[in-house]
Structure 1
Amino acid sequence: MNRNIRQGCLLLTVLLICAALHAQKDTAKQKSKYETFFKGKKFETKKGTITLHKMNGKVYFEFPVKLFKRHFLLGSVAEQTSHIEEVAAGEQAKDPLAVHFTITDSTIYLRRSDFSVRSEDVNIQEALRKSYADPVIGAYPVLAYTPDSLAVLFDISSLFLSGSPNMDPFMPVGGLAGRNSSFKSEGTVLHEIMAFEDNVSVSAYLTYLVNKTFFGFSVAENMPVTVLTKRSMLLLPEKPGVPRYNDPRIGIFPTKFVQYDPKQDAVKEIFFANRWRLEPADKAAHARGELVKPLKPIVFYLDNKFPATWIEPIRKGVLDWNMAFEKIGFKDAIEVKMYPQHDSTFDPNNIRFNCIKYAPNLTQNAMGPSWVDPRSGEILYASVYVYHGLVDILSDWMAVQMGGANPEVLQKKVPVALIAEALRYVSAHEIGHTLGLMHNMAASSAYPVDSLRSPAFTRKYGTTPSIMDYARFNFVAQPGDLEKGVKMTPPLLGVYDYYAIDWLYAPVYSAATPEAEVAVLDKKITSRMPDPYYRYGKQQLNGNLDPSALTEDLGDDQVKSTRYAINNLRYIMKNADKWGKAGDENFDFRNNLAFYVVNIQYYWYWMHVVHNIGGYYQYEKYEGDPYPAYRPVPKAVQKESLQFLLQSLDSLDWMALPVVQRNINNFHGQADEYIRRTLFPYLVRLVALQTTLSESKNEKDGYTRSEAIADVFQYVWSNSKTKMNRSAIQGMQSALVDILITGSEVKKGPVVNTLSFADLEQYEQQLLLMDHMANKYSLQHETVQCSPALLSLLGSSAGEISGFEFLPRIKADGGNISHIYYQWLLESRKRIQQLIPASSGDTRLHLEYLLLKINKAGK
């Protein structure tokens, strides 16, 4: 070895020794810094997937370096509340965020995990990272490393002790109600830390200032609301579950992303089906067709604070789904356990546990949100919230929907057995959501109306092919049908529900990849398409265009079913005072019943028929499917619907029965006049607007606006009318003349035929209030609450996510039709001039006044 080499080796040795000494010094320094940080201080430590420290009102993470870039779900649940009408204990108001931690130099960054764009091509994926970088939502200075350098310490208090729009505890409100909140930092108190093998949680009292409005008027300003909030971080599986590609022709919640595919040189939206990772414990036995238990069943814990009579029906509703899982070879796929009494590791607000929670407030609702792995659609955690006020609305529903056939429900306290049956249905419906099933609003329109009065049919099929529809009770059944054996309630599970579980959870052993499954899954859908019992109909949140996918409806003929329904309302009102006396000394029950019948249920039934006019039956269509994308409601059905609606307003005397009127105080004057005054102008305006699209798209069998207005005119001015009283006739005539004057534009004012839907719905405050109440009493908000991110995911406008969006409201511009209004205004003048000579008294004055209005408008 020459001298230069020996000198080089010696220098290298010296450098290595110096580096080692320096590393030892740094390690000792870090160790000293970590130990010094806690030395002599009082603190609490919880060890789990992340070690948590609670000290001096702050939260510290001891974060394992191996978990950097691993993904978590971050979510929030309310544990306690100062205002139960604003936030209920146990609620999860927002969907969780996917997040991960990174470290750069001496700073830890919390980033949103963006899975919205993907590619299997390495180069494209790298390019996508530059355009879709994960945004930073929190930064935390490194305080120290643990002595073994396997974890890093930092203060993460700001994540858990501050307000965040993504984790605030307030559910969305809708209709005529408004609410906004602002975080008040001085009302924050750290409460508890918890750590487990796959998640950690921090509880804190957070205070907000809340402002509320109703009908545009302020009802609360800067109201302090304090909520004990538990925010949790759940470590996602290192390897995502095997996904299943979704299909818009069946109602399964989707997880969406955009796929860049270099093989096809295309960019396309991909949807995975949300589902639990349900795998057979014995795959070979399951493949042979044997009934086997799952490797990991879905376990729900049931709140022991529920009223005693609720527990068993709720439990049964959960377990009813095992019937569907057994059809595909899974035994005891779902289990129900009561909250453990003496288990310190159990916490119903910890995301390790799927819970069915009792919320003791007056909210008339139940809902079932879930947490989903955004990489695969795997459901990781789910809860169901059941509010105490649910029983009130169930009692109301039974009274107005079943009361004609079953007077037992027309009393202040509905029999326990009937309430139990209703609770079982609600429980099963919400569990359906937690399993991945969306609402199927077309299901209840599949059965022939008269079959709903058949004992044999209803005992076999119930009232609907799917409990995931809003089909509550059998309002088609008439007095005497119950005694014949007609079933008044939905089935435990409908034929569609069995089909949906089979499509979503049955393993496809012949397919090695999710892509290979598609052909098998497609055949399961197309083979059932000819059968209306298996049709899926999307929920319509932005207006109802498809009359076969409504809420609260029954049967395949809206006119026929609504005729039966209104007959029942007549019967209920006629007998309510007699049947509802028990325990109702202050008329509280009968007051509520009469109000509900007139202001809510009648309106709801009536609106079912309204949507036939100008409506379309819509289908999600693939190439080769037997149905068109849309099919207009036949002209004959539209005309029949308009005639029925006019006739129903013509004969409202049953709402003003003296036996009812003298004991109640919930009407604005005469109930019949109030309803007619509100709904008739709405109907006429709607006819002109809603038939616009139908007329333009239905060339052969279209019901034109001109024909519809003519039909209204003929009905109102017909000489054969004998049922309506004089006041009713005059009210409809006056309203029609006003609409024709405005629509013809002979007098300055709003142009009727160009009204938007929003303008139309604001025609009268009474109509808005009725619409608000009908939506409230039909659990409309349950749609959104079952997954709070649905509105952003599924879209609020047409075409945002093709196939999976809620049905949009479609607007059509059919051009100005003022001349049509003018034509019928002239006809009205002619008819009035013919009628005046033969009239006298108040009727003559009424007609002369209308003639004066028309003549003045034309000047």
Structure 2
Amino acid sequence: MKKLFLWLIPILLIIGSANEANARSKKKKGKAKTEQQTDSVQKKKKSVYDKLFKDKKKHTVNKGTITVHQYEDKIYLELPVELMGRDFLVNSAITTASDISLAGTKAAQSRYLIIDKTDSLILFRDPKYNVRLNEQDDNQEAAFALSRSNAIYKAFPIEGYTSDSTAVVFNATSYFSCSNKDVLNLSGRSYGGMLTIVSASPQSKTSFVDSADAFDNCISITQNCTAKLSISIMGFVSKEQPELTMSVQTTLALLSKENMNTREANPRVGTGYISYTDYRNEKRFKKGYYVTRRNITTQQPVVFYIDTLIQDSWVKAIQKSADEWNIIFEDLGIGKPIIIKPYEKDSTFRANNPMINTIAFLNNNNSEVTAYNITDLRTGEILSSKIGVPRDLAVSVRRNGVYQMAEIDPRFRTYYIADKVICENLTARMLKAFGLSLGLATNLAGSAAYSPEELRSPEFTQKYGITASVMDNVLYNYLAQPGDKEKGVALIVNKPGVCDAFTLKYLYAATSENESDTLKKWAMEHDGDPRYFYGKRSPAYATDPRCQNHDLGNDPIASLDAQIAHVKYVVKNSPAWFHDDNIPNDYRELFPDFVIIELINKTLSPVSSYIGGIYINEANEKSNVPSYQPVSADMQRKVVQKILSTFYDLSWLDSNKDFLRLGGVNPDMSTWIYNNGYPMMSLMFRLMRMGLSVEKSTKSYTQEAYLNDIEKQLFKETLNGKPLSAPMIAQLSVYISSLKGMCPTLKAIDKAISTRAASIALNEQTNHKLQELGLLTTLAPISATEKQSGMEPMTSVNFYSGTDIEAICYDKLKSARRYLIQARSLASNDIERGKCDYLIAMIDRVI
């Protein structure tokens, strides 16, 4: 047995050695296999760039919190996994455009989204809408958390992970395309005058990504986009489809986890706003609003970085504007939060970072100061503002200032506007831009608060300025008269008004513990005071004459007289201002055209809004002011008579032949205005919008009385035994066509007789000319995107269907026919008789 054991020992040693060798071999092979697998995984993770970006010359990387890869015409985002489930903001703005009215405006409504992922997809989720819950009810909050989910509205395949698996890469090109409504949506936007954009169709062949940048907490994609526009005129879609080329900057920004404290908005106070749904009352819910404002603290002022390309005198003008706002902040005990700094020389500073406040020099063909905000849609916090100062600001100063100020201020009687004048203008414009950046909204009633006497007082205008709110669209004190400048009357917007100071208090002043009650008290403390009235846009059939562009003062008659006097001065004297051969010919040629703009857009349009106008105030049970009050019949009649008498004789436009020659070989200008239907087109437009005012008045100015007043003016010559003049013939043509167009029965008859329906619209050639000049704002429709509720402007009156005035129009057509027969008998030649016959035939076709 012992021998057998001794004999087995070598065999066991051999077997053991072999097993150990096999084990070592297997271990070695296993280790090698594991290392090989690890290398393979690593290579796979690293190869996502190799797979997507094969040609390194075409690949550009911009690293930030989110890394942007630009490869050929594609945009890839590298998004950290740790950001999944976080809130993001999408903001898109038009930085430059071939149509300067759109430059510096939003390209689409801002969007709030949540980015999430699955194993294979990146998900863009539509977040739960803003809600306000009962803070004392934990069950309500828990119930809402369980019942609401974030809908998926975009999904992108994951292309791969970074080598350390901390970020995913996906192709986001389709999202940043201008065909995406989050990036470009101009539907409902004004396109100048009476034109409205119905839709914008990007042209892929002429659109391309210009740059892709990454910053701390945001990325920015800028692209050049050409879009074909579909436009409408008074609701009718035009066959003409103009093309618009623009630079669109789209920002995707990571929002903070910590939200700013919200503050309730009030429709009586002119602030920006975001909406939420209020569920604090369990029995019913309602829509609510938060103000938009800055998160201002002593550690967090509002720092604006100003472009070093802006000349020193302009920088001082901008600083002066900021200082005026800081004065109000100091009165509120907040210090001086607006700080102006030059662009930093640090290599890490980039002015195109969308999340910093900048005042940039616009080296393009724009001539207006532009401004827009990027706002947190959850709380209303204004995250940043972008203000643009145009290189050609002097163009705007010449265009707007000379027609209103040349009679008062000799500095405007030249093509070469002095830098000091431009700086005064820049300070005025920046007051509104800074106001917007602080959360104030456009207040169209600010300029209607003061009387002509107050606006001609040196003491008053130096103390209060020329408007109760710089957020209105007015710049110059055109109610001033020659000699007022020397007395010290303020001629331009120079400081925030009393309404602006009040709005700033509402936005930023400290409140008591019960903030809601304090804010409601503040909103009502100036009830009935026109200086604190917040004026929004109003619909054409319920027009509030206080809320108009280009108006000034509370007396429309004095306003009209002042503007006509200024224009007459320009017609008489302007040719002597432009003898220098260095003055561009296009400026000389367009100079008379802008006189027409002054007459129609800035004179006729705001004054005619009193006809059928209604003063609209926010309803409140504690208010002593009625929620609506029609303009008095006496005021409406005075305005009508003033317009008719002012436009009855425009021969003064033709009195200076040198003025006419500025625009070419023009024999006259008055005939052009009459032949294009002014002022009758504006007056008949108001006729269609008088119904609500008539119904709500105890002593109304009726449509019949209105047409009687117009008729007396149109046939004034006939009633005095004289032949109808050419201007009256032109006005009567518009008058008769309008009356027929307002009668559905007569309109149908006319259409059946003619292959072309009667219409008050002008011919295509004339429309084109007027659209170029921007002359059709008197007929501007309400934007399709505007809404009615709370803070938002009113665009409709529920259950109001308009007034049937067919019988009145029919009677006035018959009356006009009788007068025309009389006028025919007074005609001095066959041509005049033929014109009367034509007008009579227009009526006979339908009656």
TM-score (normalised: structure 2):
0.82
Deviations 1:82-113 (A, max 9, x none): x7658999876334432222233343323233
The structure with the larger Rg is: 2
Change (3 A) 1:726 1:531: same
Equivalent pair of 1:110/1:136 in contact (CA under 8 Å): yes
Equivalent pair of 1:243/1:376 in contact (CA under 8 Å): yes
**Of 67, 72, 87, which residue of structure 2 is paired with 1:71?**
87
Q: Secondary structure at the match of 2:124?
A: strand
1:107 corresponds to which residue? 121
Equivalent pair of 2:265/2:273 in contact (CA under 8 Å): yes
Q: Which amino acid aligns with 2:153?
A: V
Equivalent pair of 2:69/2:77 in contact (CA under 8 Å): yes
1:125-204 matches, within 5 Å, as: 126=143, 133-141=150-158, 143-144=160-161, 147=164, 151-158=166-173, 162-166=177-181, 168=183, 174-175=191-192, 176=195, 180-182=200-202, 184=204, 193-196=213-216, 199-201=217-219, 203=221
Q: Which amino acid aligns with 1:137?
A: K
Equivalent pair of 1:682/1:763 in contact (CA under 8 Å): no
Is structure 2 residue 451 aligned with structure 1 residue 448?
Answer: yes
Q: Which amino acid aligns with 2:504?
A: I
* Number of aligned positions between the proteins: 789
- Shift in Å at residue 744 of structure 1? 7.1
Further displaced range: 445-454 or 212-221 = 212-221
Equivalent pair of 1:84/1:361 in contact (CA under 8 Å): no
**Of 438, 443, 447, which residue of structure 1 is paired with 2:441?**
438
- Shift in Å at residue 500 of structure 1? 1.0
Q: How many angstroms apart in 1 are the aligned matches of 2:293 and 2:610?
A: 35
Further displaced range: 846-855 or 657-666 = 846-855
Change (3 A) 1:159 1:345: farther
1:245-394 matches, within 5 Å, as: 245-261=264-280, 263-279=281-297, 294-307=298-311, 309-340=313-344, 342-394=345-397
- Shift in Å at residue 845 of structure 1? 2.9
Q: How many angstroms apart in 2 are the aligned matches of 1:186 and 1:710?
A: 56
Q: Which amino acid aligns with 2:657?
A: V
Q: How many angstroms apart in 1 are the aligned matches of 2:777 and 2:325?
A: 24
Change (3 A) 1:237 1:825: closer
Is structure 2 residue 807 aligned with structure 1 residue 819?
Answer: yes
1:728 corresponds to which residue? 727
1:623-634 matches, within 5 Å, as: 623-634=621-632
Equivalent pair of 2:601/2:776 in contact (CA under 8 Å): no
1:693 corresponds to which residue? 692
Any unmatched runs of 5+ in structure 1? 1-22, 280-293, 753-758, 785-790
Equivalent pair of 1:687/1:708 in contact (CA under 8 Å): no
Any unmatched runs of 5+ in structure 2? 1-33, 752-757
**Of 87, 101, 111, which residue of structure 2 is paired with 1:97?**
111
Deviations 1:582-601 (A, max 9, x none): 55667654433321112444
Q: How many angstroms apart in 2 are the aligned matches of 1:356 and 1:442?
A: 28
Q: Which amino acid aligns with 1:796?
A: E
Q: How many angstroms apart in 2 are the aligned matches of 1:724 and 1:455?
A: 49
Change (3 A) 1:777 1:642: closer
Deviations 1:360-408 (A, max 9, x none): 2223333221111122111111111233344312221110111221232
Change (3 A) 1:656 1:691: same
Further displaced range: 31-40 or 632-641 = 31-40
**Of 826, 845, 852, which residue of structure 1 is paired with 2:833?**
845
- Shift in Å at residue 736 of structure 1? 4.3
Deviations 1:786-831 (A, max 9, x none): xxxxx78xx524x3x3332355589954554343334334444544
- Shift in Å at residue 156 of structure 1? 4.2
1:367-766 matches, within 5 Å, as: 367-508=370-511, 510-511=512-513, 516-540=514-538, 545-582=543-580, 588-660=586-658, 662-665=660-663, 670-677=668-675, 678-698=677-697, 700-718=698-716, 726-733=725-732, 735-736=734-735, 762-763=761-762
Q: Which amino acid aligns with 2:634?
A: A
Change (3 A) 1:811 1:578: farther
Equivalent pair of 1:744/1:820 in contact (CA under 8 Å): no
Q: How many angstroms apart in 1 are the aligned matches of 2:746 and 2:645?
A: 30
Further displaced range: 318-327 or 422-431 = 318-327
2:254 corresponds to which residue? 235
Q: Which amino acid aligns with 2:553?
A: G
Equivalent pair of 2:470/2:497 in contact (CA under 8 Å): yes
Change (3 A) 1:327 1:808: farther
Change (3 A) 1:518 1:594: same
- Shift in Å at residue 681 of structure 1? 3.4
2:3 corresponds to which residue? none
Further displaced range: 701-710 or 351-360 = 351-360
Change (3 A) 1:645 1:30: same
Equivalent pair of 1:745/1:751 in contact (CA under 8 Å): no
Q: Secondary structure at the match of 1:158?
A: coil
Q: Secondary structure at the match of 1:644?
A: helix
Equivalent pair of 1:90/1:349 in contact (CA under 8 Å): no
Equivalent pair of 2:817/2:840 in contact (CA under 8 Å): no
Change (3 A) 1:669 1:697: farther
Q: Secondary structure at the match of 2:285?
A: strand
2:24 corresponds to which residue? none
Q: How many angstroms apart in 2 are the aligned matches of 1:696 and 1:72?
A: 50
1:17 corresponds to which residue? none
Identity %: 24
TM-score (normalised: structure 1):
0.81
Change (3 A) 1:485 1:92: same
Change (3 A) 1:195 1:417: closer
Q: How many angstroms apart in 2 are the aligned matches of 1:851 and 1:776?
A: 27
- Shift in Å at residue 451 of structure 1? 2.1
Equivalent pair of 1:63/1:152 in contact (CA under 8 Å): yes
Q: Which amino acid aligns with 2:469?
A: S
Change (3 A) 1:682 1:54: closer
- Shift in Å at residue 522 of structure 1? 1.8
2:21 corresponds to which residue? none
